[in-house]
Amino acid sequence: MDELALQGLGSQGNSLAQNRALQYFEELKQQPDGWKICAQALTSGRYHSNDHVKFFCLQVVEHYLKNSYAQSTPEDHNNVKSFINACLQMEGNEASQGKNFLRNKVAQIVSLAFIVDYPHRWQTFFADLLSTLALGHLAVDMFLRILLAIDSEVVDREIVHTPQETQRNTVIKDTMRDHCVAQLADSWYQIMTGYETNKPEITCACLDVVGRYVSWIDISLIANDKFVSSLLRFLSLPLVRESACDCIHEIISKGMDPVSKTKLVESFMTFLDNAGVLSPPEDEEGDFLAKLSKLINGVGMALLTSWQKLAKSGDTQSTNNTLQALETKVPYMLRFLGDEDDDVSGAVANFSQEYINLLKQIAPLTPKQRENMEGLLYTIVKKMKYDDSYNFDQEGEDEAMFQEYRKQLKVIFNNLAQLDSELVIVTVHNIVTRTLPQWEAMELKDVEMAINLLYMLGEAVPASQGQHFSGNLAKASALQEMMRLLITSRVSCRGHVMIQLQFFETVVRYDKFFSCEPDHIPEVLMAFLDERGFRNQSPKVRSRTSYLFSRFIKGLKSHMQPYLEDVLKRLQDLLVLNTPDNGYLHLLSDDDQLFMYESAGILVVSSTLSPEKKQVLMKNLLAPIANKFEELLTKLYTETDESRRLLYARCISTAMSLASRASKGFSSQQTMKQSGCIAAFTELLKLFLSALNTPVHRQLIHMGVRQYLHRMVVCMEDEILPFIPITLEHLLKQPEAKEMYDFIPLMNQLIMKFKSAIGPFLSEVFMPFVTTIFQVLSSPADERDQEVREERKLLQRGYYQFLSTIVTHDALEVLRTQDMQNLNQVLMSIVQGAVEMPDPQSQKLCFNILKKLIEAWGGNNGIVGFLDFLYKSIIPACFLAPMKPTFDLTDGQTALALGECAMCLKSIFDKRGEESLNYLQSEYFPTLNVNPELTQEFCQALRADQKTFRNYLKTFFLKAKS
């Protein structure tokens, strides 16, 4: 060993020395005999006290066993055996044993040699291993670690194996079953019972081994009197019982035929019952209870699986026997599900869920099964309640775990409702009507649970389109009574975050109730508007109610007329802009205010007031924005502190977002024009457009203007058109790639909405807009700047999307009216995009645009010069692009581009017929050196239908490229 290199190992060495040491061990891994040097170093005892050297040496040996040992010579095989025997002797000796991490590494190395050598080269492996047990408890511990390592290599189902490894593992297990598993089982029994008092940790490790191996060995080796009686005895030993529990769980989870499985489970349950294990005292520690709960869950799942198999087999007697056995386990499930400890309770959740699924399959239910269901429902309700220790103000990890556990219970609750909705409704009705009338005298957790159960009914007992208050009269009347009680009891006055949140969530979930009983709307509106909702002390409640209020308003807008002006008046102070100059803490955040403005806008628009009155109300609603905007803009320009300048820019952008959200109330039924609100929004638009000149935070401000314009295009008709040239004029002054790209969707939206009506305007602005895009794309930039490159790629793609929108939405006249030189420049840019752009999405767009142009102008009535362009530019593009090395015919996106290319060629043939084929055969293909056979094949395919030609084109280019 290189002693100088070894000095770099460990925390004492500097980084240079450590790197040298690591490099030395990497070199040893690559040397054919490097492992021998390390094996000799390990067995010599020279490095007994240096854990770092030992660990790295073991890694070198591990590397050899994993990568080269399978091709080793008999001599090397004997060397490995000798090394392993030496290691086992050392690890069995107290004077030379390694630390746990080293012992685990030795066990792993032994398992790696085992999977190569057993059974062919090392038939006596297990006999040799068993012989080491006489060395004492350290050797026994090593023996168990090796068995666990072997299990990981050979049996562990979570590890993905190759077919060869799977075949190898099957041979190993078959040989072990035939020759040594019985001896191993005897050794396990001796170890378990021999160390239960003086070395219980060894007994626990042994139980772990038994649990791992029982899945594939003969069950009778373990499920026999001596083993089972020992396991039951272990359940009374505090240091061993959890491992014993896990071991029994593995035994009953073993794959077996269903009748045998039921017998096995029942025999174990009889033993456990008689021993009193399943009736633990109240003060039993939680860890052991969780293990028992997991065991009961395993028992239940095993019986459920057996029942399912037997039910399919048609064996009625055995099916009934298994079902009867299962029913007797439900009380245990209920006991553990109801345990105070959520970990204990959660461990039987699967059993609970699957038992309900079983009951869904068998009908009618027996009285006992109905009793089980009721017990399960009441247990769920009890366990869903918040503990006194729950921290509502600062929810941490414990609270998050409880919420996850609560979700598990909610799934069980929902399934119980699917099984018997009447039982669930009656139970919830009893709890709600008992709790809400006297909420002031009840504990918080009980009040919250009552409201939460009412809320959960909406999901657990679903109704078509939320119509919970029509159809089934019994259900509807029960729900109506509970909702009435929720509101009239004034439980929302209970000043706790969870009660208030649950109240608002529930009234919004059941907003259809208020259509049946609109008299209760004022009380709920007041709750939203006062200190229970928007003015709550808790930011969490204020934020959530802002969102819920918008949903409440949308659902009941036809009922809001009587309260409209009062609500708007009470909202007024909440609509004030959150500016950097406001010297107080804002009640609502900017995001919360978005919902406020949306709700207020819906209230105004959906009312039956006259257009004149709506205009007044809308102007009042937007007044906080209009009144502050110019002042904010001035402060943005004059402010010298960059941090405050950013705050002003954000505030201006938010103001525009708020105005946009106020327009959400308009629809095709209630247009802005019909509502008389055009002036209110166009006045704001004029203000907002003045912000386009901003020299600072331009992108942020422009984003707000664009967002508002998008909304106005949706809400207005041609009233919006005069404002577009102004916007464009500002944009074209000092454009950036991202700004241009972000503006293109607005242009597309205008074209799609107004189509040919926007033609004159678009014809006028088209070339200035396109020229600016060309200038931005061709301006000098650092090619190494990834962000700039990506922005330009997006702008280029956006440009083609813009042209695509024009040719697709009846606006081709815009191109026709351009002078020839400009049009030619645009047409060539499309061809260039189809051929040169290493972006399949852009290429696909370009070919699609060319196809549309061919369809429009490719006949005898097209524009002057287009036919010449078709033959000299479009046809070559359809062949040059796919021939490019960057055009990957195996890529999905590129395949779509090739499909559009095919459609382009097909359109040319449809328009020009044999003329186009003659051109290809006599003029174009000869320039590409396409042979006559391939030319003929291509022309024949082009005459076929679209699908045939599209499929053929890929074949053509594969041949052409080869």
Q: List, as one string, the DSSP characters of 228-261.
A: HHHHHHHTT-TTTHHHHHHHHHHHHTS---HHHH
Query: 958 pLDDT band (50/70/90 cuts)?
Result: confident
**Average per-residue pLDDT in the chain?**
92
What is the band of 585 on the pLDDT scale with cuts at 50, 70, 90?
Answer: low
* Six-digit token string for 126: 């297990």
Per-residue DSSP letter, 519 = G
Q: How confident is the model at residue 13 (pLDDT cuts 50, 70, 90)?
A: low
Residues 204/207/208/214 CA torsion (nearest 10 deg): 180
Tell the burial category of 836 from Cβ atoms under 10 Å away from its Cβ (0-12, 13-18, 19+).
middle
Q: Any idea how long the chain is?
A: 962
Mean pLDDT of 903-930: 93
* Helix, strand, coil share (%) of the chain residues, nearest 5: 75, 0, 25
Instruction: Tell which residue, 676, 552, 563, has the closest CA to residue 613.
Output: 676
According to the model, what pLDDT value does residue 1 have? Answer: 62
Q: What is the dihedral of CA 290, 291, 296, 299, to 10 degrees?
A: 150
3, 384, 462 from 418: Cα distances, Å: 73, 19, 9
Q: Which residue has the higher pLDDT, 885 or 476?
A: 885
Token duo for residue 771: 């020229």
- Decide if 485 contacts 436 (C-beta within 8 A): yes
Region 431-445: mean pLDDT is 95
571-594 in b/e form (b: 16+ CB < 10 A) is beebbbbbbeeeeeeebbebebbb
Q: Which amino acid is at 563?
A: Y
- Residue 636: the pLDDT is 93
Contacts with 614 (C-beta within 8 Å, 6 or more apart), sequence order:
604, 605, 607, 675, 676, 677
Six-digit token pair at 426?
A: 């009656």
Residues 634-651, mean pLDDT to the nearest whole number: 93
Residue 909 in tokens = 């043939």
How far apart CA 427 and CA 694 sit, in angstroms, is 63
pLDDT at 17 (0 to 100): 78
At 68-97, the pLDDT tens digits run 999 999 999 999 999 999 999 999 998 888
Calculate Rg over the CA atoms of the chain. 39
- Confirm if 680 and 615 have CB atoms less than 8 A apart: yes
**Cis omega (within 30 of 0) for bond into 539:** no
Q: Residue 634 pLDDT more than 80?
A: yes
Q: What is the reported pLDDT for 431?
A: 97
Phi, psi of 14 (to 5 degrees): -80, 175
Residue range 465-494: mean pLDDT, rounded: 81
The CA distance from 539 to 546, in Å, is 11
The pLDDT of residue 369 is 94
Alpha helices by DSSP H, 779-839: 786-808, 813-816, 820-836
Using one digit for the tens of pLDDT, what is the confidence trace for 489-542? 999 999 899 999 999 999 999 999 999 899 999 999 999 999 999 999 999 999
Give yes or no for residue 15 having a pLDDT over 80. no
Across 893-918, average pLDDT = 94
In whole angstroms, give the CA distance from residue 512 to residue 489: 19
Q: And the tokens for 605?
A: 């628009």
Q: Judge whether residue 426 has pLDDT over 70.
A: yes
Compute the average pLDDT of residues 870-887. Answer: 93
Can you tell me the mean pLDDT for 442-458? 95
Q: Map residue 388 onto helix, strand or coil.
A: coil
CA dist 384 and 379 (Å) reads 9
pLDDT of residue 805: 95
Tokens of 363: 């009908």
pLDDT at 696 over 80: yes
Residue type, 538: S
How would residue 662 be classed by pLDDT, with cut points 50, 70 and 90?
A: very high
Whole-angstrom distance, CA of residue 769 vs CA of residue 728: 8
> For the purposes of burial, counting CB atoms within 10 Å of the CB of 113, is it exposed (0-12), middle (13-18) or buried (19 or more)?
buried
Q: Is the pLDDT of residue 10 over 70?
A: no
Scanning 118-257, the segments in alpha helix (DSSP H) are: 125-131, 137-154, 163-179, 181-194, 200-213, 225-234, 241-252
What is the reported pLDDT for 658? 97
Average pLDDT on 812-828 reads: 93
Res 2 pLDDT > 70: no
Closest residue by Cα to residue 655 from 705, 614, 609, 692: 705
* pLDDT, tens digit, 9 for 90 and up, residues 752-786: 998 888 888 889 889 999 999 999 888 887 777 88
pLDDT band at 112 (very low <50, low <70, confident <90, very high): very high
What does the pLDDT read at residue 462?
78
Q: Enter the tokens of residue 138.
A: 């350290």
Q: Are 334 and 392 in contact (CB under 8 A)?
A: no
Task: Give the C-alpha distances (Å, rounded to integers) separating 823 from 160, 765, 777, 816, 864.
Answer: 61, 14, 18, 8, 11
What integer is the mean pLDDT of 629-646?
A: 92
The Cβ of residue 391 has, within 10 Å, a number of other Cβ atoms equal to: 9
What is the spatial distance between Cα 727 and Cα 743, in angstroms, rounded to a whole number?
Answer: 10
Helices 564-571 & 590-605, crossing angle to 10 degrees? 160
**462 three-state secondary structure:** coil
CB 798 within 8 A of CB 743: no
Residue 571 and residue 596: Cα distance in Å, rounded?
Answer: 8
pLDDT exceeds cutoff 80 at 583: no
Residue 8: its pLDDT value, please?
62
Mean pLDDT, range 94-104, rounded to an integer: 91
The reported pLDDT for the residue numbered 402 is: 95
pLDDT band for position 739 (cuts 50, 70, 90): confident
Predicted confidence band at 12 (pLDDT cuts at 50, 70, 90)? Answer: low
Q: What is the pLDDT of residue 275?
A: 86
Residue 377 pLDDT > 80, yes or no?
A: yes
Q: How far is it, in rounded angstroms, from Cα 351 to Cα 296?
A: 8
For the cut 60, the answer to whether the pLDDT of residue 735 exceeds it is: yes
pLDDT of residue 959: 84
The pLDDT score that the predictor gives to residue 470 is 67
Average pLDDT over residues 165-170: 94
